[in-house]
Amino acid sequence: MTAPAGRRSGRRVLSWLLALALLGVIGFVVLRDVGGQEPEPPELTVVTGVIGSEKDAFFADQRVRDAFRAHGLELKIDPAGSRQIATTTRLDGYDFAFPSSSPSADKLLAQRPAARTYAPFSSPMAVATFAPIVELLTQAGVVAPGSTTFDVRRYLELAAAGTRWDQLPGNTSFPARKDVLLSTTAPCQSNSAAMYLGIASYVANADGVVTDQTVATQVTPSVQPLFRDQGYLPPTTEVLFEDYLSAGMGRVPMALVYEAQYLAEALSPDPVLPADARLLYPSPTIFSRHTLVPLTPAGDRVGELLTTDPQLATLAAQHGFRPTDPRAFAAAFRDRGLPEPPALVDVVEPPSFDTLEGMLSLLGCTP
């Protein structure tokens, strides 16, 4: 910040001229030497996207970057909460938005009509926890002995009674004076919490998807404490999952995450899952269908590649997502010598965006 602006820009022009001249010479030499034998690397188009944070690691993977580069695309990614993407994020300047659920994508589509959307992979909601907690939950009847099924109805009963961990019978492994509560993200901002709202409201509604505002108004008060009693909640699922991984049981005894986040760690060449980490499946659960909404032709190209390129499907599976083609998912586990995660049968649909918004506004979220 010392050189006067005039001199500075003069020098810069000179730099650029010199650089261009140098590039010209190099280009001439390269072309003369290899003339025609190798195709020129395609010029990279920079494509920017805003995505649900749980896909951040996938897009940051060098192999994924390379796969897109091979198609001439250089991706720049901002992670954000999915509802934030659908409601508050300024989308000007982005080529695509890639929230984690179809309701959020529907909302985006209403504002930004696109010819088509892409749902290249999905992931069920799951509970990341620890072996001692699984044991306590088994004793409390939330988990059937030896299974990975997390009984949502039984859990909601415990939570509604304000049960604390230190009140669970025979608890010596985690005697915290803290309510038994599944950690979630902030429902006003993040999709995974909204999916949890979908699950909890389904159970509270006598096993029925909430489809209208009248039912939403009846059901929401009983699920509100699940969020309110947790206090401040992390804005994204990525932050929540990182807290689970890096802070241990005391901070996050059990967290509602995307199955993919946990599986990605299990499949990683250097997994950082704690030795006593465990994954449970809520019953019922909801699949989040990661849905890409193109905002420009370049963004559309990203969606198309994610859907059609087999290598990207393989990489998605290695990041724990369930691609539309189940073989890629099975192969990822076979290759690592790990058992394939269960096929889930107790799966329910999320409420529509408008119903979900209705419930969220009852929880105090503003659009």
Residues lying near another protein in the complex (CB under 8 A) are found at 8, 11-12, 14-16, 18-19, 22-23, 60, 76, 78-80, 88, 90, 93, 130, 162, 164, 174, 176-179, 181, 188-189, 225, 228-233, 235, 239, 242-243, 245-252, 270, 272, 274
Q: How far is CA 147 from the centre of its chain?
A: 25
Cα R_g (the chain), whole angstroms:
24
Q: How far is the CB of 231 from another protein (least distance, A)?
A: 3
Q: How far is the CB of 329 from another protein (least distance, A)?
A: 24
Q: How far is the CB of 80 from another protein (least distance, A)?
A: 6
> Contact at 8 Å (CB) between 79 and 56?
yes
**C-alpha to C-alpha distance for 228 and 246, rounded to whole angstroms:** 24
The smaller minimum CB distance to another protein, of residues 22 and 34, is found at 22
Neighbouring-strand partners of residue 45: 73
Q: For residue 185, which phi and psi values (nearest 5 degrees)?
A: -85, 180
The smaller minimum CB distance to another protein, of residues 278 and 289, is found at 278
Q: How far is the CB of 294 from another protein (least distance, A)?
A: 19
The smaller minimum CB distance to another protein, of residues 130 and 353, is found at 130
> Contact at 8 Å (CB) between 238 and 78?
no
Q: How far is the CB of 24 from another protein (least distance, A)?
A: 12
Q: How far is the CB of 63 from another protein (least distance, A)?
A: 17
> Contact at 8 Å (CB) between 250 and 176?
yes
- Which residues touch 3 (CB under 8 Å, ≥6 apart)? 11
The smaller minimum CB distance to another protein, of residues 18 and 30, is found at 18
Q: How far is the CB of 268 from another protein (least distance, A)?
A: 10
The smaller minimum CB distance to another protein, of residues 69 and 330, is found at 69
Torsion region of 162: left, alpha or beta (phi above 0 gives left; psi -120 to 50 gives alpha): left
**C-alpha to C-alpha distance for 75 and 45, rounded to whole angstroms:** 8
Q: How far is the CB of 131 from another protein (least distance, A)?
A: 11
The smaller minimum CB distance to another protein, of residues 30 and 60, is found at 60
The smaller minimum CB distance to another protein, of residues 180 and 305, is found at 180
Q: Are strands 73-80 and 45-52 parallel, antiparallel or unpaired?
A: parallel
> Contact at 8 Å (CB) between 180 and 194?
no
Nearest to 229 by CA among 274, 163, 276: 163
The smaller minimum CB distance to another protein, of residues 148 and 167, is found at 167
- Which residues touch 26 (CB under 8 Å, ≥6 apart)? none
**C-alpha to C-alpha distance for 301 and 314, rounded to whole angstroms:** 18
**C-alpha to C-alpha distance for 136 and 174, rounded to whole angstroms:** 9
The smaller minimum CB distance to another protein, of residues 17 and 31, is found at 17
- Which residues touch 342 (CB under 8 Å, ≥6 apart)? 148, 281
In the 8-state DSSP scheme, what is residue 230?
T
Q: How far is the CB of 207 from another protein (least distance, A)?
A: 27
The smaller minimum CB distance to another protein, of residues 217 and 246, is found at 246
Q: How far is the CB of 249 from another protein (least distance, A)?
A: 4
Token digits of residue 4: 């006067």
As a residue count, the chain comes to 367
